[in-house]
Structure 1
Amino acid sequence: METQTCSVSSCSSNFAIHMLFVCVIIIFSSSMVASANFLKDIDHTWGGGDRVQILNNGEGIAIALDETSCSGFQSRNQYLFAKIDLQIKLVPGNSAGTVTAFYVSSKEEFHDEIDFEFLGRVEGDPYILQTNMFIHGVGKRETQFFLWFDPTTDFHNYTILWTPFHIVLSVDGIPIRELKNNKEKGAPFPMRQPMRIYGSLWNADSWATRGGAVKIDWTKGPFRAWFKNLRVDGCLWSDGNSNCTKSSTSWLSSTLDNESQQHMKWAHTNYMFYDYCTDTKRFPKGLPLEC
């Protein structure tokens, strides 16, 4: 995710690697399942006044962008691995230059982050969904899709699944991206830093729409996006340790089943138009290790 102005180690033996994953699985034997309340479980990070509106006693939230400020929120809790579902309805009309984001991010020394970013559009054009990941402080892992529906007319469900074995991003239950933990290749993977959940709506007209050629038309503002039904099934993190209280491990899976793989292939074939793992011009010295 672009910077917002608004603001293992290697084990010495196979036994050590095995024990690391055993410990992770033990952590997940007691995880927390919860529907978050936007009054009780979420802090507002940017924007105030009319820019942030709590809906239906905390079931949802609407956030706005105007010439003065962006808006955003974050979870009070941190998680080390989780399955997170959030329903979003995007800015309608001419949203060029704006970005609506749903992501998880760490605050430790080496930045980890997993993003859904919805790039604002000129009215009549399709929205672009960009996914990106920062791992150990390095990003530039973008994929881009056209969506197969209008994301401004109704809520759609977006899922971040982050386990010790892979990361899967899904839209309405259809996987669109998987990043496996390819430790055997020496590829980095977010394993040790807890993350919070974030949502935001912000000004990115330097790059978001047609490469930055189309700027925000402030006469169309304020721009507003809606979020609801945030559900978190994950391992709480507190004071440097996991703090899980309820058993739920059904989402902890090391592979996608055949049906899910076919759905992801469908999304890639029909709707993905950029994948950093095929961009040899961008990486002339070789693609990233995870590709």
Structure 2
Amino acid sequence: MAIYLSLTNAIASLFLFVLAFALPITGRPATFLEDFRVTWSDSHIRQIDGGKAIQLVLDRNSGCGFASKRQYLFGRVSMKIKLVPGDSAGTVTAFYMNSNTDAVRDELDFEFLGNRTGQPYTVQTNIYAHGKGDREQRINLWFDPAADFHTYTILWNHRQIVFYVDDVPIRVYKNNEARGIPFPKFQSMGVYSTLWEADNWATRGGLEKIDWSKAPFYAYYKDFDIEGCPVPGPANCASNPRNWWEGINYQVLSALEARKYRWVRINHMIYDYCTDKSRNPVTPPECTAGF
């Protein structure tokens, strides 16, 4: 009997131990409304399949946007998105994380820049750390992102930030605080998305204007996935080295990921602030610190 009770207590203790580390981490929401809220123009966001997917609408009257109900400090967020098809010039579909602070902003951006029919879709990424942004990079996607859903992911841990398109890393920003380079790690961030008109800059620097005769424009989202430390929440979550996204496999790119990353940079990158001497006569320090 004593052995049985001892074993039962051990199992119970193990369960509580595991639960203590599992509770702070949020998982995949079942429906849009469980973890997100409409931020503007709710008439332009439509739920599909019982809220498991949504449609964003842009017309002459308005664009629209939504955001997570909570903010998170470290983790991974991803969504499957099907972008605006056909002539989408002048439109921007954005998926990003933002600290929602004015003076010292942290932000991690995916911005999908619309195109004229037949031209490649451009993805612009940007990183704000401690209020400093202007770190734009752009790549042309190697597939038609309006033909089907693709997964767009932001991984954020103490060592690095990685932007993924499906399983392909397209941007890496390492933590180089030891070299005096800012890295976002103090402020929690919410998850946001918008569909809006930006034909003053979005397509070929604003040369291609939006064709409102093609409106309304639609983008679709599904499989909302947030795994991170919610704020407010347990104070020790963000510093917990047992969080899966802090594991050794997520501190650097794998050999396969590194090959994919180089392939994207060589074959599909069309703009890099690091090499733009008109904007940065002196190469920014993070550009020479290595990925």
TM-score band by shorter chain is 0.7 to 0.9
Q: Is the 8 A contact 2:33 2:51 kept in 1?
A: yes
1:212 maps to which of 191, 198, 206: 206
Matches within 5 A, 1:159-170: 159-170=153-164
2:270 aligned partner, one-letter code: F
The whole-number CA distance in structure 1 between the counterparts of 2:69 and 2:234 is: 15
Q: Is the 8 A contact 2:26 2:230 kept in 1?
A: no
Partner residue of 2:285?
289
Please list every run of 5 or more consecutive structure 2 residues that lacks an aligned counterpart in the other structure: 1-19
Partner residue of 2:42?
48
The whole-number CA distance in structure 1 between the counterparts of 2:156 and 2:162 is: 7
Partner residue of 1:3?
none
The whole-number CA distance in structure 2 between the counterparts of 1:63 and 1:248 is: 37
User: 1:261 deviation in Å?
Assistant: 0.8
2:190 maps to which of 168, 191, 196: 196
**Is residue 76 of structure 2 the alignment partner of residue 78 of structure 1?**
no
Partner residue of 2:251?
254
**SS state at 1:150 partner:** coil
Partner residue of 1:68?
61
Q: Is the 8 A contact 2:24 2:233 kept in 1?
A: no
1:122 aligned partner, one-letter code: R
User: 1:48 deviation in Å?
Assistant: 2.4
RMSD of equivalent CA atoms: 2.1
1:237 maps to which of 212, 220, 231: 231
> What do the CA deviations read for 1:238-278 (whole angstroms, capped 9, x no partner)?
1794668x997332232112111111011111111111112
Mean alpha-carbon deviation: is it higher for 206-215 or for 34-43?
34-43
2:284 aligned partner, one-letter code: P
1:123 maps to which of 117, 123, 132: 117
The whole-number CA distance in structure 1 between the counterparts of 2:42 and 2:251 is: 41
**SS state at 1:40 partner:** helix
Structure-2 change in CA distance of 1:140 and 1:151 (3 Å): same
Question: TM-score of the superposition, structure 2-length normalised?
Answer: 0.85
User: 1:120 deviation in Å?
Assistant: 0.7
Structure-2 change in CA distance of 1:242 and 1:214 (3 Å): farther
Partner residue of 1:264?
261
Structure-2 change in CA distance of 1:94 and 1:236 (3 Å): same
Partner residue of 1:59?
52
Q: Is the 8 A contact 1:103 1:198 kept in 2?
A: yes
1:153 maps to which of 143, 147, 151: 147
> What do the CA deviations read for 1:131-178 (whole angstroms, capped 9, x no partner)?
111112221101111111100010000110011111000111111110
The whole-number CA distance in structure 2 between the counterparts of 1:46 and 1:151 is: 25
The whole-number CA distance in structure 2 between the counterparts of 1:72 and 1:167 is: 24
Structure-2 change in CA distance of 1:248 and 1:240 (3 Å): closer
Percent identity, please.
Answer: 46
The whole-number CA distance in structure 2 between the counterparts of 1:232 and 1:166 is: 18
Structure-2 change in CA distance of 1:203 and 1:248 (3 Å): farther
The whole-number CA distance in structure 2 between the counterparts of 1:43 and 1:94 is: 29
Partner residue of 1:279?
276
User: 1:85 deviation in Å?
Assistant: 1.4
**SS state at 2:183 partner:** coil
Partner residue of 2:172?
178
Partner residue of 2:16?
none
The whole-number CA distance in structure 2 between the counterparts of 1:105 and 1:240 is: 21
The whole-number CA distance in structure 1 between the counterparts of 2:21 and 2:192 is: 23
The whole-number CA distance in structure 2 between the counterparts of 1:199 and 1:225 is: 11
Partner residue of 1:24?
none
**SS state at 1:114 partner:** strand
Which stretches of structure 1, 4 residues or more, deviate above 6 A after TM superposition? none
Partner residue of 2:88?
95
**SS state at 2:258 partner:** helix
**Per residue, is there more helix in 1 or in 2?**
2
User: 1:31 deviation in Å?
Assistant: 4.3
**SS state at 1:260 partner:** helix
